[in-house]
Structure 1
Amino acid sequence: MEHLPVEVFIKRRRALMDSLPDKALLLVPSATLVTRSRDTEHPFRQDSDFWYLTGFNEPDALLVLMKGYEKSEQLLFNQPKDKLMETWTGIRLGQVAAVIQLGFDQAFALADIDQQLPKLLAEASEVWMPLEDEALYSRYLFWRQQVRTRFKRVASLPTRITDLSQQLGEMRLLKQPEEIILMKQAARISAEAHCRAMQVCKPSMYEYQLQAEIEYEFRMQGASGPSYSSIVGAGDNACVLHYVENSAVMQAGDLVLIDAGAEYQGYAGDITRTFPVNGTFSTPQQQLYNLVLKANELAISLTRPAATLDELHQAVVRCLVTGLVELGLLQGDVESLIETEAYKVFFMHGTSHWLGLDVHDVGLYRQEGKARPLQAGMVFTIEPGLYIAPDQADVDPQWRGIGIRIEDDVLVTATGCEVLTSGVPKTIAGIEALMKGDDYARH
């Protein structure tokens, strides 16, 4: 598994610094270990912003960037080498190796942070940090007080503190070529796992057994695991958008909806496929499925630079409402049904979200009150769905308890788009063929 070279992270740090005013001091904290129960922790997952700028995968660290300082400009505070602790929890990079391997000007032990940060603040004109991090903000206030105490005759405290999240979010939104390579790999692994699920699925399996097959494939293909909690919902459970219990027995005649993606070197895959537990769609299932597929393919066909996610969503809504009227699930004029949002009883979520280091990635959706135009390098999902609740009394019983979502990951290119998740079938013919053992159906 090839990791991104250190030069990529150095370049990102320099680009971020170039976008800031002179004498700006920027602080980005790492993630920390989170207790699962008593003396055990959840598996460590690095903060996405910190990872984007450092490529450093240890907890309890702080990135400090200084624009226009006379001395060092890229600093890291991290845990020191400690043979006893390393025996228990693994090798630490330490300070010397951090400079060599991560490209920092200097690295300090975490214990030095309260000594060093007031010195840096005393020279800063303004500070940039993620303001939602209450722990960091509390430390910042302490460091400001230390400046007053230690440097009151020579220092002028920063006059402005600015939230870093938007600046860094906009930078992360446009994926660079090296990121696109990793995202394609995350999508490929995710697609292989969904194919595996289709091939092994059979009636009387538990949902969690199908989840195990998917996540096994993630790890066998080199992913760190799932990029979010896998959803495996069969029958009525497919109508619960964020169903994660995955504990029911799957019955012949039901559909199973799987929303699962692999995380590869920090980047998320995000795929949803819906298929019949017994390998064959019923007629009502076919009708609803083909309607959702039509909306999915329509949105993909409209994806290109200068289009907007709002336009894609409006096209999806119109497609679904028209089809629901034709099937008798909605009654009335299509325009009126759209205007009154009558469709939301069956399609209650958006069509898209940004995708990257986070499965719901950063970056503004609107600029100056308007939907932002798409640009080459953006990656997002297209995921129309229909969910007919099992207790939906005003619809024909043949539709009740059917939940369908079809989700793909899409990269905007200079001339249109590329579907990164095409490695797993989504047509009825392709799904049924793969479930019957035709491996070529995925291509």
Structure 2
Amino acid sequence: MKYERIDKRLFERNRTKFMQQMKENTVAVFNSNDIYPISADSSMPFEQHRDIFYLSGVDQEESILVLFPDASDPKHREVLFLKETNDHIAVWEGEKLTKEAAFESTGVKTVYWLQEFDTIFKQMMAEAEGVYFNTNEHLRANTETQTREDRFIKKYKKIYPAHQVHKSAPILHRIRSVKEDIELDLMQKACDITEKAYKRVLKFIEPGVWEHEIEAEIIHEFIRNRSNGFAYTPIIASGKNACVLHYVENNQECKDGDVILMDFGAKYANYASDQTRSVPVSGRYSARQKEVYNAVLHVKKEAEKLLVPGTLIPEYHKEVGHLMEEQLLKLNLLDKTDIKNQDPNWPAYKKYFMHGTSHFIGLDTHDSGLYHKPIEAGMVFTCEPGIYIPEENLGIRLEDDLIIQDGKAPKNMMPGLPLELEEIEDYMNS
């Protein structure tokens, strides 16, 4: 791994938090991800399942974590099963975790090789009354592809049909959403790397450069700072491309007079950052671009004030909608008739601001969390209002990552990123 070793106390605390919410005499099982094939003998780079990583720190394939806090045998209360390494694997694939190294990085004392799983798990299930399976219940999840976890659940439901089945997802969504200090430090590292890349490209952008060249500058800065790479597919969208919310082709020339919307974030130790800035290709905004930019900036600043403990996220989004409506009226993009005749289920402002303002962020860019529960201190959210005007070939979005704090405004994890119009222009022209 490119990142430095994470303090195992993080994973010990995370396991404790999960086990405290398990029902009596139950087992919880968490599987690593598959290595996904492309074709022939090619495969995609391995990405660990965020839940097993959150609970153990294990960042390799063919791994299983089992938690059984009520086990009569103390050594079976936390158990890791790992793929047994050998000299051949070491030569062809590189080092894998040994039992000793696994303990050092995870804090799990009992480690077996994967071929022992069925025997040990049978002993545990003979004693347990129920089992927690880890299904993907993220609201935006695409669950068409069968995962290693899916195959595991299908198999072991048949083998143990009399056990009560419980869901890990609700527990994980609660505990993953409130970050430990160690997690915040890792996320800050990701944000710091993103800041370096952003400042690099501000000096690089000029009329005639191509979107993919900007992307190349970003990934160069990421890798040289020990990032795993992009936390999500980067959006480098100049001119009218900025009005496509998930534009990822990044294959057009950046032209004089256009604004370029850049939505990208570094990943560090599997933790994500997520920022967006919209900057002038020429280094100077036009009068109209300034109007729209300042409208988005106003909404962002006011929205951030609402991100405090106790806020309900659906109500927050409604209030941000009112803020955006006011700005769109001032920009003459909406009029009072539009407001009067709007569909309450799709308000008039949605014509120019059609996405949500904030989402959880952490191990996933759109992280686990309970959107129907009040915001708590220690959660981290994005704040990303935008205005998109296809007829003007103009899209402006501004985004930072914010730590929720008790008794005060959220802490911006990206304070060094130029945000004000004058800051951006000065930096680009210095």
Using the size of structure 1 for normalisation, the TM-score is: 0.89
Please report how far the alpha carbon of residue 254 of structure 1 lies from its aligned counterpart in structure 2 after TM superposition: 0.4
- Residue equivalent to 2:400: 408
* Residues 133 and 153, structure 2, Cα contact 8 Å, conserved in 1: no
- Residue equivalent to 1:87: 91
Task: Give the 5 Å matches for 1:275-294.
Answer: 275-294=279-298
Residue 169 (structure 2) pairs with residue 177 (structure 1): no
User: Partners in 1 of 2:72 and 2:262 — Cα distance?
Assistant: 54
Residue 51 (structure 2) pairs with residue 49 (structure 1): yes
Please report how far the alpha carbon of residue 116 of structure 1 lies from its aligned counterpart in structure 2 after TM superposition: 2.7
- From 216, 219, 223, the equivalent of 1:219 is 223
User: Partners in 2 of 1:353 and 1:385 — Cα distance?
Assistant: 14
- Residue equivalent to 1:431: 424
Please report how far the alpha carbon of residue 338 of structure 1 lies from its aligned counterpart in structure 2 after TM superposition: 7.9
- Residue equivalent to 1:342: 348
Relative distance call for 1:100 and 1:304 in structure 2 (3 A) is closer
* Residues 173 and 378, structure 1, Cα contact 8 Å, conserved in 2: yes
Aligned partner of residue 430 in structure 1, secondary structure: helix
- Aligned AA (2:9): E
Aligned partner of residue 359 in structure 2, secondary structure: coil
User: Partners in 2 of 1:334 and 1:328 — Cα distance?
Assistant: 11
- Residue equivalent to 2:152: 139
- From 325, 329, 336, the equivalent of 1:325 is 329
User: Partners in 1 of 2:154 and 2:36 — Cα distance?
Assistant: 24
User: Partners in 2 of 1:410 and 1:386 — Cα distance?
Assistant: 21
**Which is greater in Rg?**
1
* Residues 339 and 348, structure 2, Cα contact 8 Å, conserved in 1: no
* Residues 321 and 334, structure 1, Cα contact 8 Å, conserved in 2: no
Residue 376 (structure 2) pairs with residue 375 (structure 1): yes
User: Partners in 1 of 2:151 and 2:33 — Cα distance?
Assistant: 16
Structure 2 residue runs of 5 or longer lacking an equivalent are 137-145
Summarize deviations over 1:205-237 as a string: whole Å, max 9, x none. Answer: 010001111121112222111100010000110
Summarize deviations over 1:51-78 as a string: whole Å, max 9, x none. Answer: 1111111111110111211112111111
- From 191, 202, 206, the equivalent of 2:195 is 191
Aligned partner of residue 298 in structure 1, secondary structure: helix
Structure 1 residue runs of 5 or longer lacking an equivalent are 149-156, 367-371, 391-399, 438-443
Relative distance call for 1:103 and 1:143 in structure 2 (3 A) is same
Please report how far the alpha carbon of residue 79 of structure 1 lies from its aligned counterpart in structure 2 after TM superposition: 0.5
User: Partners in 1 of 2:105 and 2:377 — Cα distance?
Assistant: 32
User: Partners in 2 of 1:57 and 1:135 — Cα distance?
Assistant: 15
Root-mean-square deviation (CA, aligned residues, Å) is: 1.9
Summarize deviations over 1:365-392 as a string: whole Å, max 9, x none. Answer: 00xxxxx3221101001100011124xx
Residue 423 (structure 2) pairs with residue 418 (structure 1): no
User: Partners in 2 of 1:213 and 1:175 — Cα distance?
Assistant: 31
* Residues 21 and 67, structure 1, Cα contact 8 Å, conserved in 2: no
- Aligned AA (2:384): E
- From 317, 322, 345, the equivalent of 1:313 is 317
User: Partners in 1 of 2:293 and 2:320 — Cα distance?
Assistant: 14
Summarize deviations over 1:238-291 as a string: whole Å, max 9, x none. Answer: 000000000000000000000000011111100000011000101111111110
Summarize deviations over 1:27-49 as a string: whole Å, max 9, x none. Answer: 01111211233212222221111
Relative distance call for 1:191 and 1:96 in structure 2 (3 A) is closer
Using the size of structure 2 for normalisation, the TM-score is: 0.91
* Residues 175 and 378, structure 1, Cα contact 8 Å, conserved in 2: yes
- Aligned AA (2:7): P
- The count of corresponding residues between Structure 1 and Structure 2 is 414
- Residue equivalent to 2:141: none
Deviates more, 1:111-120 or 1:193-202: 111-120
- From 114, 122, 131, the equivalent of 1:110 is 114
Please report how far the alpha carbon of residue 330 of structure 1 lies from its aligned counterpart in structure 2 after TM superposition: 1.0
Aligned partner of residue 98 in structure 1, secondary structure: helix
User: Partners in 1 of 2:148 and 2:271 — Cα distance?
Assistant: 26
